[in-house]
Amino acid sequence: MAGSFNYEMAQSIQRILSGGKVEEHDKILFRHELLEAQYMSRGIDQDEAHELANKTYNYQEKLNEWIDGTEGLHGQVQDRQK
């Protein structure tokens, strides 16, 4: 659901604000939120803005890759899973 906030998002924000190790999905979260806000400033409703931002910066997808240990492999996922 668009507009929801969860534990993983809080952890991403904490890593960035604390100066800890910033993961790729942490950066994606902020880029996603910025793009979503830009769409909304153009009059697009929040749900549609969220979906449009996901096309460029999909936080949940990157988070899932990180959880699975595949974040940043860019096409190497199949090789790693063998």
Task: Show pLDDT as tens, one digit a residue, over the chain (82 residues).
Answer: 455 678 999 999 999 999 989 999 999 999 999 999 999 999 999 999 999 999 999 999 999 999 998 866 554 444 434 3
CB 1 within 8 A of CB 42: no
Structure tokens at 20: 């800890």
With CA atoms as reference, report the closest residue to 69 among 13, 31, 28, 25: 25
How many Cα atoms sit within 13 Å of 2 on the Cβ side? 15
Residue 20: what pLDDT? 84
Question: Residue 49's Cα: distance from chain center in Å?
Answer: 14
Residue 73: what pLDDT? 58
Residue 69: what pLDDT? 87
Cα 81 to Cα 25, 45, 66, 71, distances in angstroms: 21, 39, 14, 13
Residue 76: what pLDDT? 45
